[in-house]
Chain A
Amino acid sequence: MATPIHVPRINNNDDEVKVLAFDVKPGERVSAGQIVGQVETDKAVLDVTAPVDGYVLGFVAQPDEIAQVGSVMLWLGASASEPIPEAGAPTPDSSTAGPSPVTGKAKLLLARYGVKSDAVTPIDGRITVEAVERYLATHGLAAAAPAPVVAVSRPAEPRPEVPGTAVALSREEKGMAATVVWHRDCAVPGYIEIDYDPAPWAEYARAFQEEKGLLMPPLLPLMAWRLVEVARTMPRINATFVEQQRYEYGAVNLGFTIQAGESLYLAVVREAEVLDAGGFVNALGDVLRRAASHQLRESEASGATIGFSSMERWKVTRHIPVLPPHTAFMLAHAAARNGRAVLGASYDHRVLNGGQVVAALKKLSSPT
């Protein structure tokens, strides 16, 4: 029977010691009490002695190795030829159960695409990201786009109980969904309106039409132009809020809502402040025409710094627009009734206060 010599404990509070050296060689005969080696912890060195007479069979630990207190350091045998006992199979650690059949990331992907795990063919017995991606590709689902960087944490949306069909959103609809989320999570929206007399504006637009020989009086483009002018003198309304600061834009990019068929666009005239009234009316006309035929260019579909929305076409007498992302002011124009009308604005309260909004609306309520 071979006798193990265990790594001794030196200090009550150290579970590991360093094996310093062995003073014996395999095959050497030792007697009980003989020093066979040394171990060390921080600052203390201890001799290790043989508990019985015998022959050194071999070392388990090696010099300079950190060994667990209580583990076998070396073996002694009754004869030099005795075999070293097999190390006992390590006791399985109940706490380390095998990995789950679906990897965590794969689970997230499955949830994102609404796919059940049993639909996916495992790879090497596990459903991995690769396995899910294979499934998505063969089923015509969008390739796994990288997770959105803005990990605005939201709890998983509850699924409606009543059966129905999920219809994917168009690009514009997704845009509006994002707008609403921004408005809800990132802005501090307020709304103010004032009463005004629309007659002078109508008169002004008619005069403009006559002067330029246009087909129709361009009332809304002129009001939008007035908004550009006011934004030039009141940089606050052409601004947003970033990192606890007001961010005043260097250009006035006027966003104008236009409904084209089922799509609602925010068509943008960039750097409107460098134009004159005629130039702006033309530029806006061009952008709106392209929107009507779903031909907006990328630069005309993004980057608004201030907004204009009219619901006059639908005879709506008041509406409260949702602020487009990173804007602080959106003018709301509506239909007149009995010769009076309201002019309103949704605004970000972190950027503008009510008084400033009223001042802007007053200016906007008359053409000059």
Chain B
Amino acid sequence: MMSDASPMAADSANGVPAPFLSDASGKPRIGTDPASLFAFATLIRDTEKLILDLFSRGLVSGTTHTCLGQELCQMAVVRALDHPDDHVLSNHRNHGHFLSYSGDFHGLVAEIMGRRDGVCGGYGGSQHLAYRHFHSNGVQAGMTGIGVGLAAALKARDSRGIVVTVIGDGTLGEGLLYESMNLASVWQVPVLFVVEHNGIAQTTYTRDTLGGDIVARGAAFGLDTWRVSDREAGFIDAAAAVVAQVRERRRPGMLVIDTGRLGPHSKGDDLRDPGERAALAAADPLAALAACLPADEVAAIRASCAAYLQAVERRALASPAANFDPLPEHSFRPAQAGQVEIPEVADGNVRAALNSALHGLLAAAPETLLIGEDLHDPYGGAFKVSAGLSTKFPGRVISTPISEAGITGAGIGLAMAGRRPIVEIMFADFLSLCLDQLYNHAVKFPGMFPEATVPLVVRAPCGGRRGYGPTHSQSPENLFVSVPGLTVLYPSHRHRVGQLLADAVLRWSNPTLFLEHKLLYGEKCDTADYEILPAGDDDLGAALFPTLRRGSAAPDVTLLAYGGMLPVAERAAKILETQEELAVEIVAPALLAPLPRQTLLQALLDRPRILVVEEAHHHFGVSAEILALLAESAYSGALARLGTLPVPIASARSLESAQLPDEAAIVAAVIDLL
């Protein structure tokens, strides 16, 4: 019988007690005396060795990056975080940060092995970990904007918490880092950028890739800066003092820690010459700590660490492979109840409707805020959608630097902290700069971690017919509809666009792109003779963001159009009805992703001819997906699609109008279909 005798069995690995104490939130309490530091650092080091050993035995799922040699560097800042609101954002080399924050050795080892007991259920592996306010991700510098957003949220609610964002020195080459440092400075938020300077990035020496000075980078942005070495006495206290100063001053800082990587970048990729490695090992800070302790104490600490990690390994090996039960088909959170009613602006156009929705949102929901370029009065945004808002809601309508990726990241951070940010990107063409933030971050957190929600709305004016040329005229929905977990809304003047925006912000807690065609701003909002199609039961968001239809119930042809294409499709329908004597139906979705498949099939499957029209560069885009949907559903009528050819959109109006589908092109395409 296993028994009653062990008083510490509960919170331990297979009956072996953890050789450290934890605080109320489970965070290890690591003292600053040499024995305590040596004990925890040894646990981290032996865990890394265990992981490499498991790797060699083929038991690790995917890749891993250990922090051998950098244990103290990784512990120092994290161990000093003692406020429940403190956040840590880390990168690929995160085991030391994670273990110092969570103390969950079993969860980490099982996670890296792809076992069910893994701290992230097998989603994260080595480099995507989440635990309370700890998040790591595998895109270098990808989390730096998010950290600024989290810190802004802390500042807004007067918390004394701070955000620590860790990067390696190789990551000083990433542009987003500088957007983030600048934003942190402009907003004066308590975020500490920690640069772990080990002199190397994967296999490339930083000296070959870095121009200028590291600390001067922080200073140039007005950050408080510090530089310390984990090989120097007093390092742990110095790092703790930096944390205390950031907490006290409530403004951003940059801490550079000189450290040394003893192991490979990942596994088997250490190409440095043996002399260099020997020199690093000679300066090993753990060896220095051990040297200050009596030999028997060192031996005792090593023995207790080994016993504990053997138990960790046994338990991780006993955990079955992670499995989905059931396999998730999507990562969208359902629509929430409770609505802010946005009154329709009498005789108003789309611009007025959106402006009124933003007024309504800011007035009714204190968690909402607007972030974007040139939003402030009297300018009120490039298309005047935010006119009057900065005057009425000071502090919640924020004009930002020209940093599309940075402000999108900040939006994600604010959203993760419970705010409901609305980010405006001045021209949808620039969404390409936000793509990593949406594709690798906004949609990943809710998809991987059940407790993470990212209720972010990114608004952007899109579309051409104004002669703005190749980089200010595009309709990029085709790129974004394929991002798993991203909602793409592109309404028209026929939809209740203000209400749609309000619902996207308050009732749809999923990262959402909200596209607005520039030419629709001046169009009068009018539902005209459109009716709402019944939403398919399985269509996520379809009831909240309805698809409309108008026209003949027994049409000769159905035009499917959305967003800025709708007025054009309507003009074409008129020509087809009057000049070609055809019965025409228009189906107009506002929700493009997740595509309301059932709703569309119910409306389209028995139609004899369907033309899908869009303004986007449409190969591989929305129309392609709709045509594939119909083909997969055994639709056997005639089908065609019309969009913009894969060429840059010209500035000259005469050229542009020949490129973008107009009513004549739609009429011609319909005639071809007959």
Taken together as a complex, chains A and B put the C-alpha atoms of A108 and B518 apart, in Å, by 37
Given contacts A13-B382, A95-B662, A155-B638, contact A104 B671 (CB under 8 A): yes
Task: Contact check, A153 vs B581: say whether CB atoms are below 8 A apart.
Answer: no
A43 within 8 A of B: yes
A153 touches B556 (CB 8 A): no
A105-B657 in contact given A96-B664, A100-B671 (Cβ < 8 Å): no
**Which residues of A are found within 8 Å of B298, using beta-carbon distances?**
none
Question: Of all chain A residues, which has the CB nearest B609?
Answer: A153
Q: How far is the CB of A100 from chain B (nearest CB, A)?
A: 6
Q: Is the CB of B607 within 8 A of A108?
A: no
B237 within 8 A of A: no
Q: Please, what's the 1-or-0 string for B373-400, where 1 marks a CB less than 8 Å from any CB in chain A?
A: 0000000101110010000000000000
Instruction: Say yes or no: A104 contacts B607, CB within 8 Å.
Output: no
Stretch at the interface among A25-33, A143-151, A248-256, A352-360: A143-151
Q: Are A153 and B662 in contact (CB under 8 A)?
A: no
CA distance A59 to B109 in the complex (A): 81
Q: A103-B579, A153-B637 are in contact. Are A108 and B554 (CB under 8 A)?
A: no
Which residues 548-596 in B have Cβ within 8 Å of A in the complex?
554, 556-557, 576, 579-583
Contact: A150 with B579, CB < 8 Å? no
B 639-674 to A, binary, CB cutoff 8 A, 1 in contact else 0: 000000000000000000110001111000011001
The residues of B that contact A16 with a CB separation of less than 8 Å are 522
Give A211 Cβ to nearest chain B Cβ, in Å.
Answer: 53
On whether the beta carbons of A43 and B384 are closer than 8 Å, the reply is: yes
Identity of the chain B residue whose Cβ is nearest the Cβ of A96 in the assembled complex = B664
A154 touches B670 (CB 8 A): no
With A95-B664, A104-B671 given, is the CB distance from A151 to B608 under 8 Å? Answer: yes
User: Does A121 interact with chain B (Cβ within 8 Å)?
Assistant: no
Chain A residues 140 to 197 lying within 8 A of chain B, measured CB to CB, are: 147, 149-155
Interface of A is mostly: loop
Would you call B466 an interface residue if the criterion is a C-beta within 8 Å of the partner chain's C-beta atoms? yes
* Contact present for B606 and A95 (CB under 8 Å): no
Chain B neighbourhood of A129, CB < 8 A? 581
Q: Are B637 and A104 in contact (CB under 8 A)?
A: no
B92 lies within 8 A of chain A by Cβ: no
Number of A-B contacts (CB under 8 A): 82
Chain A: minimal CB distance from B395 (Å): 23
Residue A106, interface by CB 8 Å: yes
Closest B residue, CB atoms, query A148: B554
Q: Is A14 an interface residue (CB 8 A)?
A: yes
B664 contacts which of A12, A14, A97 (Cβ < 8 Å)? A97
Residues of A within 8 A of B441 (CB): none
Interface centre among B521, B556, B580, B664 (most CB of A within 10 A): B580
Name the A residues within 8 Å of B579 (CB-CB).
99, 103
Whether, in the assembled complex, B636 has its beta carbon less than 8 Å from a beta carbon of chain A, the answer is yes
Q: Are B606 and A105 in contact (CB-based, < 8 A)?
A: no
Bound CA span A60–B605, Å: 51
Quick check: B382 and A153 within 8 Å, CB to CB? no
B605, B664, B670: residue with the most chain A Cβ atoms closer than 10 Å? B664
Q: Are A151 and B581 in touch, CB under 8 angstroms?
A: no
B351 at the interface (CB under 8 A from A): yes
Min CB distance, A252 to chain B, in Å? 31
In contact, B580 and A99 (Cβ under 8 angstroms): yes
- Tell whether B235 is near chain A: CB-to-CB under 8 Å: no
With beta carbons under 8 angstroms apart, the residue of B351, B384, B606, B657 that contacts A153 is B606
Are B607 and A153 in contact, with the CB atoms below 8 A?
yes
Chain B: number of interface residues, binned into ranges:
35 or more
Is A15 among interface residues, defined by CB-CB distance under 8 A?
A: yes
Q: Is B635 an interface residue (CB 8 A)?
A: yes
Known A-B contacts A95-B658, A96-B664; A107 and B637 likewise in contact (beta carbons under 8 Å): no
Q: With A13-B383, A15-B466, A16-B522 in contact, is A153–B636 under 8 Å at CB?
A: yes
Chain B residues with CB under 8 Å of A86's CB are none
> A104 with B582: in contact, given A95-B657, A154-B636 (CB under 8 Å)?
yes
Residue of B nearest to A128 (CB): B581
Q: Say how far A117's CB is from chain B's closest CB, in angstroms.
A: 12
Which residues of the other chain, A, contact B387 by a CB distance below 8 angstroms? 42-43
Docked complex Cα distance between A193 and B79 (Å): 77
CB <8 Å contact, B554 and A151 = yes
CB neighbours of B576 from chain A (8 A):
104
Q: A104 vs B580: C-alpha distance in the bound complex, in angstroms?
A: 5
Report the separation of the CA atoms of residues A150 and B380 in the bound assembly, to the nearest whole angstrom: 52
B607, A151: Cβ atoms closer than 8 Å: yes
Contact A153 B635 (CB under 8 A): yes
Residue in B352, B466, B581, B606 whose CB lies within 8 Å of A106:
B581
Distance (Å) between the CB of B404 and the closest chain A CB? Answer: 18
CB distance from A350 to the nearest CB of B (A): 16
Q: A13 to B468, alpha carbons, bound, how many Å?
A: 10
Contacts of B518 in A (CB 8 A): 13
Could you say which residues of chain A place their CB within 8 Å of the CB of B605? 153
From 69 to 128 in chain B, residues with beta carbon under 8 angstroms from any chain A beta carbon are none
Q: In the complex the two chains form, is A153's CB within 8 Å of B608's CB?
A: yes
Instruction: Judge whether B674 and A107 touch: CB under 8 Å.
Output: yes
A147 touches B671 (CB 8 A): no
> For the complex, what is the distance from the CA of A12 to the CA of B380, rounded to whole Å?
13
Q: What are the residues of chain B within 8 A of A43 when measuring CB–CB?
A: 380, 384, 387
Assess whether A104 is in contact with B554, with CB atoms less than 8 Å apart: no
B488-505 contacts to A, CB under 8 A, are: none
Among the interface residues A13, A106, A155, which one has the most CB atoms of the partner chain B within 10 A? A13
- CB contacts (< 8 Å) of A13 on chain B: these are 382-384, 466, 518, 521
CA distance A149 to B552 in the complex (A): 11
A128 CB to closest chain B CB, in angstroms?
6
- Please, which residues of chain A bring their CB within 8 A of the CB of B351? 42
Within 8 A of B (CB), among A55-109: 94-97, 99-100, 103-108
B580 touches A103 (CB 8 A): yes
Among A12, A104, A152, A154, contact of B581 (Cβ-Cβ < 8 Å): A104
**Residues of B contacting A100 in the complex (Cβ-Cβ under 8 angstroms):** 580, 671
Task: Give Cα distance in the complex from A129 to B581, angstroms.
Answer: 7
Q: Is A295's beta carbon under 8 Å from chain B?
A: no
Residues of chain A with a CB closer than 8 A to B384's CB: 11, 13, 42-43
Give the nearest-CB partner of B461 in chain A: A13
**CB-defined A-B contacts under 8 Å, sample of 17:** A13-B466, A42-B387, A97-B664, A103-B582, A104-B557, A104-B670, A105-B583, A108-B582, A108-B674, A128-B581, A151-B607, A151-B608, A152-B606, A153-B605, A153-B606, A153-B636, A154-B637
Known: A129-B581, A149-B554, A151-B554. 17 other contacts (CB 8 A): A15-B466, A43-B380, A96-B664, A100-B580, A104-B581, A104-B671, A104-B674, A105-B580, A108-B556, A147-B554, A150-B606, A153-B605, A153-B609, A153-B638, A154-B636, A155-B636, A155-B638
